Amino acid sequence: MPRILTSQISDTALNEHNARMFGSPKERLDFYRREIQYETSILANRTDAFLASQSFLVIAFASSMGNLNPEWGKLFTLVVPPFLTLLGVLSSLNAWPGIRAAYDIIGHWHFKQSELLHSEPVMGLAYDESPLFCERESTQKGYRKALLFSVRTPWIFATFWILLGIWSVCIQITNPGA
């Protein structure tokens, strides 16, 4: 809590205020873990929605490439797949900020949890003795590895769509007689 230089708040009053505001270390740990769980579920929901939208786009892309109509099929397969590719790239780029924001918020709460466990020796000992908790959970390396799939997915799909779009145009241009 920032202090104003002119105020005369004693350390005792400040500690009492913090105790009322934050509660016990156990309550803070529970709060941090609930926030981590909440943000992780948000990240999972965003990743699920993104993957579902990408799967529908892939199906639409494959269907449009398979158009065999003799009158307008060639023009259709030259125009529609690149538009679907553009939509796939844009949706990937649009999904990235939300996924990254959830990842950063999870990182914040993991940091707060780690700092709490390191600043409260008694809490840290109880934490380390419990089989449900371990030091690996509260390190940055542990949770970051768990979230890599969600963080990388938009970039993997953006790359996939760019390559697929280039391939779909090249196939139509290099084989004009088909």
pLDDT in tens, 87-107: 999 999 999 999 999 999 999
Given a cut of 60, is residue 128 above it in pLDDT? no
Single pTM value for the model: 0.74
What DSSP state is assigned to residue 66? Answer: T
Report phi then psi at 23, rounded to 5: 80, -160
Q: How far apart are CA 128 and CA 18, in angstroms?
A: 25
Nearest of 23, 19, 8, 29 to residue 123 by alpha carbon: 29
Report phi then psi at 176, rounded to 5: -70, -25
H-helix or E-strand spanning residue 100: helix 73-119
Q: What Rg do the C-alpha atoms of the chain give, in angstroms?
A: 26
Instruction: Summarize pLDDT for 1-13 with one digit per residue, the tens.
Output: 555 555 556 666 6
Nearest of 2, 3, 46, 23 to residue 123 by alpha carbon: 23
Query: Looking at the chain, how many residues does it have?
Result: 178
